[in-house]
Structure 1
């Protein structure tokens, strides 16, 4: 699937928002990808994750025993990508602020794991997820995401396969460009919701 088609899927879902947004990383951006609007449509999600699975097969030389994703945003694309790759899907959750493997997921030493994320901005949650996977003794063979909005600059701690790579600017609050500073900021993400 070409990058333009991936973005078209987000646009059709009403998930490509423009304005002034505070991302879960704390950075500010003129664009927000509201992936929940994409994931609410099973056929659209399946199309995207099938394409991601195909790209992973093309770009990752290792076998994959399982997929592990960070909760909450990575659970759906992780599951769907796992379905298309024919492997189990698991996820990590935050416990005392740190990602851990819970729920009796059978992640074992030596397993070859693909970490699947929804959207990568700074790569922080991907790095934290990968650290949790490594604590089990499993080996991360690569990471994958639907959209890498860093333009390829994010370091996730493993090879990153993205269905689309776009360069969406993100700024610290202290360095906002005037056109963004003049617009009230909203925080549409899920982090911090009660």
Structure 2
């Protein structure tokens, strides 16, 4: 089928973001679950994503990798889902916060988790300044309205919201009331719940998974 979508993923990965986005789009898709160190590094998958990581999607013969790119691509490919704001301030905010999360936010959270301390006089080199500054800016972003691009949910919320949800769950982000309210709002979405249930089920079915 011309619009068949294949998702390469693992339930313990950023592939959860891509599945959530696919559920929001509402188009049929197939799933291929890959294992770290084996099928994810096998020649067949490296031909799809030479980085040997997930997620990746294949749509109409085109490969898209990187979770933020997958969210943006699917929103554009299926405009009827209404996940891209119209031109204007909302669309500007959409791109701003989508790429803020893919850049400064992810870098700051990763460095903190790895206990990488950036000297104050070298903060300009890392592109995010400091972890505290990133948290303050993110808090402002999710406090202005119900969603990061305004009053309507968009693909940017899938990506930003996933980072906040993971950060709160794993303790890699500060538990601020604004983050918790935003996370609760997104977790109530049917598409989020369908995606989470599917990935949780895969985890439970895996060898050594939860009962």
Classify the TM-score, shorter chain: 0.3 to 0.5
TM-score, normalized by length of structure 1?
Answer: 0.35
Task: Flag the structure with higher helix content.
Answer: 2
Task: Flag the structure with higher strand content.
Answer: 1
TM-score, normalized by length of structure 2?
Answer: 0.33
Q: In terms of Rg, which structure is larger?
A: 2
